[in-house]
Structure formats: C-alpha cells, structure tokens
Amino acid sequence: MRGTAIAFWTVVVLVTLAVQCVADGLYGSVAVAPSVPRALAGDWPFELMARTGLDRIPAVRRELARGALVKNEPGRATALLAPLAASAEVVDLRGRAALLANDPATALRDFAISGDFVAAESAIDALGTSDPRAALTIVRDFAQRLAAGGAAPEIGAEVEWREGVIAAQAAAKYPADAATYDHDSLDAFARALERAPNEEKYLLNYAFAALRIGDAEGALKTYQRAAQVVPDSVDAFAGIAVTAATLGDCGTARTALGRAEALAGEQHRVLSVAADGYAADVRDALAHCNP
C-alpha cells in the first residue's frame, strides 16, 4: 500500500513538472530545438491531465491555463480558471484571457484587482479608444486600488497619466461634454506631475491640456519647464512657440520655433504643428508670427 502511494505521488510530481515544462516551453524559455515547440503545441497535456484527474489540482489548472493562453485559446483558459479561488495570480490570468477574447473592459477590471499595471496597459489602450467613458471609470478605480496598496509613486504617476490621456480621448469622442473631460484631463496630468515633477511626458501633456482649456500662460510656463528638464526636446520648444504666439509674443515664438526646427533636423524628425493636434486658432497665431 505504501509503495503504491509513493508511486502515485511520484507520478503526480513528474506530471506536474511536465506541465510546468509545457508552460515554459510554450512561453519560449524551453523551446530551443525546433522540434520542442511542435512537441509541446498539441492538446496532449490537457487530455492527459483530464484523463488522470490531475487537472483538479489548482497548480496544474493554472499551468494548463497559461498554455491555453499562449495557444490563443482564451475560452479554454477561462474554463480552466473558472473553479479556482480568485487569487491575484488567477485573476490576472483571467484578465489575460478576457483580453485575448477582445473584452478589454473585463480584462481591465481583473488587472485592477490583481494590481498588474503592465498587463493593464494594452487593455487601457483598447478600451480608451472604443469606450473612453468606461475606461475612465475603471482606470480611476485602478488608481485607488494602487494607492490603497501602497504602489510605487512612478506606477501611480503612470496611471494618472493614462487617465489624462483617456479623458482627452473622451473629450474628442463626446463633444457635448468636451469641456468637462478637458478639465478632467488637466487634473489627471497635474496629479501625475505631483508624483513625478520632472517627467517630460507629463509636462508636455499638462501644457497641451492647459492650452486646450485656454490657460496659455500656464501652458507656456510648463513648456518652458519641459525645455529646462530636456534641453533638446523638440516638442517643448514647439509648445513654447505656439503658446507664445497665442499670447502675442511673436519674438519668443519665432525664437522657439527656430530652436524646435533645428532640433528636429538634428534628430531627423519632421516638425508639424498641425500634426501635433494644436487647435486651428493656435496654428493661426503661430502663422501670424511667422509670415
């Protein structure tokens, strides 16, 4: 009897290790020889675990779910994960399955619960484009969860920045509520800057949002700050040019535009104020200063 039990658990251990290797192989860490991926890509691990009943072991089901995700089978992964307790790892895997199934709203909620911001980024981008209102609600909840969990400031800042970007998308998508969303965007970028005051991306986004709501002076100061932080920033000097022109300071506008054009040439970039999304009146002011 004892020998039978030992043999059984030996098989369990070996099979579990095999499943782990399957998952690793599917993810690429074991797939070295060309024959290995082909050998691991079939359904035999799933069938073997089901026949032996080992798929009732939570660790085995998790590894099988990982393999299903790599095989681009979100339905199978979801079914494998369904009976498991909602640990952070399991919820994160459910989010990945939802993302593969083109359900970014569910994916983002799961990633918010698991605290996986890296995985959430693609879901945020997808939902922010298709339904920015829904994305805003979930990202705000995400930010609160991160804050409650004591997330690192840089992660919190990135979430605030994402919220600002989505609010700007909402302003463009829902013109009737554009003013509200524009202010929401500015507020989110301000919170990001509070956490990371020298981050060029946050400075540029805050300045652009400030200009959109008519605060040209605040935008100019922020663009100037960005130019101090990153002296070769084409976008910072272009921003100085358009905001100075909006304020009627054509001398500063021309100097800044010349600097932006010189930097763009050095960096092999094409400088286009229109392509950068500035409003027509802002572009007209710049053109007036540069006849």
Which tens digit of pLDDT belongs to each residue from 229-269?
A: 999 999 999 999 999 999 999 999 999 999 999 999 999 98
Residue 148 has pLDDT above 80, yes or no: no
Rounded to 10 degrees, the C-alpha dihedral 167/173/179/181 comes to -20
Looking at mean pLDDT, say which of 14-18, 71-75, 92-96, 205-209 comes out highest: 205-209
Give every CB contact of residue 202 below 8 A, 6+ residues apart in sequence.
157, 161, 189, 192, 193, 196
- What's the CA gap between 97 and 65, in Å, rounded? 9
Give every CB contact of residue 271 below 8 A, 6+ residues apart in sequence.
234, 238, 260, 261, 264
- What's the CA gap between 138 and 128, in Å, rounded? 10
- What's the CA gap between 49 and 266, in Å, rounded? 59
What spatial distance separates the first Cα and last Cα of the chain, rounded to whole Å? 95
pTM of the model: 0.68
Domains of the chain: 11-84 (no CATH), 208-291 (1.25.40.10)
- What's the CA gap between 230 and 8, in Å, rounded? 64
- What's the CA gap between 187 and 212, in Å, rounded? 13
The single-letter code of the amino acid at 264 is A
H or E element in which residue 37 lies? helix 35-40
- Predicted local distance difference test score (pLDDT) of residue 149: 67
- What's the CA gap between 49 and 66, in Å, rounded? 14
Mean confidence (pLDDT) of the chain = 82
Q: Where are the alpha helices (DSSP H) in 55-152?
A: 58-70, 74-81, 88-100, 104-114, 117-130, 132-148
Residue-wise pLDDT tens digits, 90-144: 998 998 999 889 888 788 788 878 877 777 777 777 777 888 888 888 888 777 7
- What's the CA gap between 210 and 263, in Å, rounded? 24
- What's the CA gap between 282 and 245, in Å, rounded? 8
Neighbours of 115 (CB within 10 A): 17
